[in-house]
Chains A and B, each alone.
Chain A
Amino acid sequence: MRQDIGTRGFLLLLRVQDLTRRYPGQTRAVLQGAGFELDRGESVALTGESGSGKSTLLHMLAALDQPDAGQILLDGADISRLDDRSASAVRRRRIALVFQHFNLIPALTVAENIALHARLGKCHEAEWTNHLAERMGLADLMRRYPEQISGGQQQRVAIARALALRPDVLLADEPTGNLDEYASEEVLRLMLELVSEAGSALLLVTHSQQIAARCQRHLHLSGGQITEGACA
């Protein structure tokens, strides 16, 4: 088990410095010298207008995309220029993602989907996975396939899959964007509780100020820059 969260500077997990990203053919950089810090176990909301670069930032933090300039230091190691193999290893073991459209593997059952990421990272704990499934209300759906369950249930599977890894960082991109109000509230509540239980840091991209307010910190992305927002 990881240590509990202590003082902020001592437990710094992620430092993003001067991140710049420009898409080919576009005059304006979507990210321009953006930077922020994320501590272990901390939950942070990231808001911004559509097209402001939130998802781009998230993808770079997950080593899915590379910045044109700047650094992303995970426990002091720059993960912004890794080759595919090393970037894949980071994602396999330390970073998990939850997407708006769930992105479950249609070929696998709910149980297999939940265990998949942890198994790929070779850190699967059956007890923890069962616990997650129980908490997420998925215990009775374990043998079903993704298309056989509702959208809210699918997103709970996606969150359970991400947390089964006990990632250092959970990056969630509009995780409730596709859900109705009730399901959204339920999923968010469970996610925040379980992220805390897992000891992971959470960076949650959202449009909703209400959802942002549920996190410990609030960052706002605008004009390619990140600014500190109001705390919950």
Chain B
Amino acid sequence: MRLTLATLLRHWRRMPLQLGLMIAGLALATALWSAVQAINGEARASYARAVEQLGSAQLPALTAPDGHIPLATYVSLRRAGWQLSPVLEGRWSPGRRPVTLMGVDVLSHPVTAAMAAAEAEADPDAPPFATVMQRETLFAHPDHLPDLAGSGYRLLPLPHLPPDVVIGDLALVATLLDRPDALTRLLILPEQPTGLTPLAELAPNLRVGRVQDGVAGDPQRLTRSFHLNLSAFGLLSFAVGLFIVQGSVTLGLEQRRGQIQTLRCLGVPLSQLMLALAIELVVFALVAGLIGLVIGYGLAGLLLPDVTATLRGLYGAPVDGELTLRPGWVLSGLAMSVGGTLLAGTQAFLALRRMARSLSQAPVSGARRGAHHWLRLAAGGLVLMGLGTLIGGIWPGLLTGFVWLAGLMVGAALLLPALLHAASHLIPTGPDSPLRAWLIADSRLQLPGLSLSLMALCLAVATNIGVGTMVSSFRLTFVDWIDQRLLADLYVQPETETMEAELMHWAQQAGVRALPRYQIDSRSGNAPLRLFGITDDPRYAEEWPLLRSQPDVWTRLFDQGEILINEQLAHRQGLSPGSVVELAPGWSARVAGVYADYGNPDGQAYMSIDAMRDREMPMTLSQIGLVAPAGTSIEDLAQELRAALALPPGAVIRRDAIRATSTAIFDRTFVVTGALNVLTLAVAGFAMLTSFLSQWSRRLPQLSPLWAMGVTRRQLALCEVLRSLGFAAGTFLLALPLGLLLAWILLAHINLEAFGWRVPMTLFPDDWLRLFALTLLAAAVAALGPATRLLRLSPARLLGVFSHDR
């Protein structure tokens, strides 16, 4: 066995380039996959830590339909022997930004341990919970502490808390929220005495369920689409890398046909050859896997800051910016590498089996594929595309959306060689162009060997077009949306009611129209719902386009108590203009219109400030927009306002500054997507290069006779480049519609499932041209190596093909 393996491995000493390319391909694929997994793993670990810090995720809780549990109910349940931990939660505005304030019972809530640790770190000599019990201390995410500086309380950091959640003792929070005798929920602690009266009897109006602490919600749920997206990218890159491995392994076997024949003649059984091949592949996979993990770790380190920014900015999800080396990640990366290599080697195993049984079979007979082969492949592709569409169409959902995408992409990849084969028959070849006729016929012969790398290229280009179109369409819509939503020229967030009054007074005196916006945080359909109250102003009707609306929508809003809801709330609850929606327990309103909202995944509703005031719920002023009178300089107005109210420069924000910041955040959000896009294309280009180089050794006997017939090496080299360009162009032509379909699914279905909004699709032909040029460039670069080799090839090498007797 050892000798068989050593003999087989010896081949690679003569083929260092081929071996290097195979290892590099697999390492690159593993690197991208493991980088994505490292990022996902880090994010998930951060979410888990956050949940662990809050400690309540695993515990069932009692909640009331109206969100308020009377303190007396809690007391009666405790008296009945139930071990419960009370939680009070609400929105609190200590500074400019409202936060979720969570009051817990420090003796029973699971977050206690983290609070005690933070307190001990701040003051090692103090007895545990001394300051908490004295109602002086609040805990928040370290990044959020500066915003709370003016609250007047002692602030301690709890790094894994969600950014806008503040925790404190129950009594302190009850005071701050002015809700002394109400609770939001009661956590049912794990250890309960036996023989208790059932909760359903003691408190029939309360429901038992699992409720996540903190209005920010479950980060795992919110960010699921983001991580699924990253994983899909990683898997795509890995699959593209496997095409490289598949090509190299099969070629390596083909090259050792003589060696295998000899070994078989010397009595080596097929099973031993199979085992030797398997060991060879596993060794390569482990080496490449380790290299890939090192590269992947570095790549993840580079991308993580942008991912962290995205997750915090877009979803408010807490993620540490530091990467941790996890044994599970290393093992799964290696397993992926080994598993993928063995999968990619399946064809090689089958080829070895065939080879060992029929040694006289000429290699080329295995390479030529008849029309029926391509038809079978195309039929398989069409079936996959149909199945994917069927699944995605019948069962709408995030996961089935990705299944739809996968079905379309793999199906189209299988369709590609058949289409290229068919297209080659459409190119006219007259008797006057024998070289063209040969080039086309030879391209058909090369197609089986190149088809995998072309499929990889097709997937990479389609992904590039699809994701590029999605991001660009989204960006265009987002920027447009920002412009429409920023109705005022200046924005101010008053910190106190006095300041609010002063500001409104100043605006009246200066002839400036003020657009104040108040807010209430509520829940609807067991999901967070933010309500905004606005004053009547013609600018809303003039500049705020709605997706769907009732006639006289603005009159209905300001005079008839109807509301506008965002698209995600409409989608989630199946609402449309005319529907009635529950805004809070006992408070419903009719929907007058639906507006686009790309700023957050949660539900929102707009109503008149009078309708909001009627409810007598605690509301906060979120901002005041100021519309500069015609002909007034916005900058002068801002300066005047700052001077009049003695505001710091940062307190008055110009519309264009908000627009610039929002756009910058948006762009940063898609840095990772862009990077993965480019990397996938690079891997596909690399796959093409390895295919061409792998085919190189087979090409000489096919090219030498032509040279002997008077075709110059320059002409042959040009043919190689032209073939590569032709294949790439053909591949692009299929990838373009596929990419657009991908974009449509991403925009109209995946986005809808993930965020609840649909983004109109815009076409960007300039981007396609750029990508087409890039694809041709990648193909030209990939073919340039073999072409240059051919150009520089000494006649002796070409003659070697004919010199059998020397």
Contact = CB atoms under 8 A, between A and B. Distances in A.
Chains A and B are bound partners: yes
Contact of A99 (B365, B443, B446, B802): B802
Q: A50, A59, A93 — which one has the most chain B CB atoms within 10 A of its CB?
A: A59
B804 interface: yes
A15 interface: no
Given A50-B805, A116-B438, A147 B368 contact: yes
Contacts of A180: none
Contacts of A84: 712-714
Q: State which size class the interface on B falls in.
A: 35 or more
Contact of A107 (B362, B442, B804): B442
A101 B362 CA distance: 13
Interface in A143-197: 145, 147, 173-174, 177
Contact of B796 (A54, A65, A108, A173): A65
B784 interface: no
Interface stretch (A35-43, A73-81, A118-126, A134-142): A118-126
Contacts of B442: 105, 107-108
Q: B434, B701, B804 — which one has the most chain A CB atoms within 10 A of its CB?
A: B434
Contacts of B443: 107
A11 interface: no
Interface in B423-447: 431-432, 434-435, 437-438, 441-446
Contact of B708 (A97, A115, A124, A174): A97
A107 B421 CA distance: 13
A12 interface: no
Contacts of A92: 709-711
B798 interface: yes
Contact of A100 (B709, B712, B804): B804
B445 A121 contact: no
B509 interface: no
A117 interface: yes
A201 interface: no
Interface residues of A, number: 43
Contacts of A145: 368
Interface string B772-806: 00000000000000000000000110110111111
Contacts of A59: 795, 799, 802-803
B802 A106 contact: no
A103 B799 contact: no
Contacts of A107: 438, 441-446, 702
A104 B705 contact: yes
Contacts of B527: none
A51 interface: yes
A64 B434 contact: no
A103 B704 contact: yes
Nearest to B441: A107
Q: A97, A104, A119 — which one has the most chain B CB atoms within 10 A of its CB?
A: A119
A103 B704 CA distance: 8
A81 to B, nearest CB: 13
Contacts of A90: 710
A84 B708 CA distance: 11
A5 B705 CA distance: 30
B196 interface: no
A115 to B, nearest CB: 7
Nearest to B715: A88
Interface string B693-707: 000000001101111
Interface in A58-114: 59, 62, 64-66, 84-85, 88-93, 96-97, 99-101, 103-108, 112
B474 to A, nearest CB: 46
B364 interface: yes
A105 B706 contact: yes
Contacts of B806: 50-51, 55-56
Contacts of A65: 795-796, 799
Contacts of B706: 105
A121 B710 contact: yes
A2 B610 CA distance: 108
Contact of A116 (B434, B704, B712): B434
B701 A91 contact: no
A150 B711 CA distance: 27
A55 B805 contact: yes
A169 to B, nearest CB: 13
A112 B805 contact: no
A87 to B, nearest CB: 8
Contacts of A174: 804-805
Contacts of B364: 106, 147
A89 B434 contact: no
B431 A103 contact: no
Contacts of B707: 64, 88
29 contacts: A59-B795, A59-B803, A64-B795, A64-B798, A64-B799, A66-B795, A85-B714, A88-B710, A89-B710, A92-B710, A92-B711, A100-B802, A103-B701, A103-B705, A105-B442, A105-B702, A105-B706, A106-B445, A106-B702, A107-B444, A107-B446, A108-B441, A115-B431, A115-B434, A116-B709, A117-B709, A120-B434, A120-B711, A174-B805
In order of increasing CB-CB distance, the 3 nearest A-B pairs are A92-B710, A119-B434, A91-B710
Interface of B: 362, 364-365, 368, 431-432, 434-435, 437-438, 441-446, 701-702, 704-714, 795-796, 798-799, 801-806
Given A89-B710, A106-B364, A119-B431, 10 more contacts: A59-B795, A66-B795, A103-B705, A103-B708, A108-B437, A117-B709, A119-B437, A147-B368, A174-B805, A177-B804
